[in-house]
Structure 1
Amino acid sequence: MLRTCPLFHLTVFCAEVSLGILLEPDTKTLTVLVGEPATLRCSVTGGDLKNYQVSWYKKTEDSSLILAYRPSNNTNEDSRSNFKGNTNASKSQLDIQRTTVEDAGTYYCACD
């Protein structure tokens, strides 16, 4: 019996931060199959990210934002998560190792 997996969309928006730094998504919409990995990326213009921590937020149904991923100094905490992040001077990346239906939504990257 063939099992079908639903598709879902991830939309990325990025927030402007002080000092003229702007984070912008590399791809506005990403469509993946449930169970497959997904990678969201934001690029910076007007500065670099080496002095900032980049966090990723997800918009809820009531339009509030919840924290989806923030780097932790505790590597054990990060390794339990389905979300992994990587940031260098010019880009931030959020990897969802194995997507679920609950991962569908609109994501924002922001500098803290």
Structure 2
Amino acid sequence: MLWRCPVLCMFLFSMGTSLDVILEPVAKTFTVIAGNPATFYCTVTGGDLKNYQMSWYKKSENNALFLVYKLNNNSTDDPMGNFKGKINISKSQFILDIQKATMKDAGVYYCG
């Protein structure tokens, strides 16, 4: 079964007082076969990923955002349910993996 998952990474935030960090999605929409993995990429511009906190959120049906994965330089990259994240410092990317996608994973995801 195929499902389409729009990916939006639109959060802007500041680190310090004068540095703006911009997060942009690599792909906006893609389709995954249920049971297969899905990977989301969010490119970071204007920041140092050595001191980071990566968070991924999913938008619920009532438009609320809920945390699906969180990682920072003081934590391990242990999976949170079906989700696992990592940082690619050389490509300045936050990455979220859904290990085995299901229909309930379909939706809009945000990085921040």
TM-score (norm 2): 0.82
Higher-Rg member (1/2)? 1
CA distance in 2 between counterparts of 1:66 and 1:6 reads 24
For residue 99 of structure 1, give the secondary structure of its aligned residue in structure 2.
coil
Stretches of structure 2 that go unaligned for 5 or more consecutive residues are none
| Shift in Å, 1:96 | 0.5
| Shift in Å, 1:25 | 0.5
Higher strand fraction: Structure 1 or Structure 2? 2
| Shift in Å, 1:80 | 6.2
Q: State the identity as a percent.
A: 49
Query: 2:12, 2:22 within 8 Å by CA — same for their partners in 1?
Result: yes
| Shift in Å, 1:31 | 1.0
Structure 2 residue 10 is matched with structure 1 residue 8: no
How many correspondences in the alignment? 104
TM-score (norm 1): 0.82
Stretches of structure 1 that go unaligned for 5 or more consecutive residues are none
Kindly report the root-mean-square deviation, in angstroms, between the aligned alpha carbons of the 2 structures: 1.8
Q: 1:65 to 1:92 in 2, by over 3 A?
A: same
Query: 1:9, 1:104 within 8 Å by CA — same for their partners in 2?
Result: yes
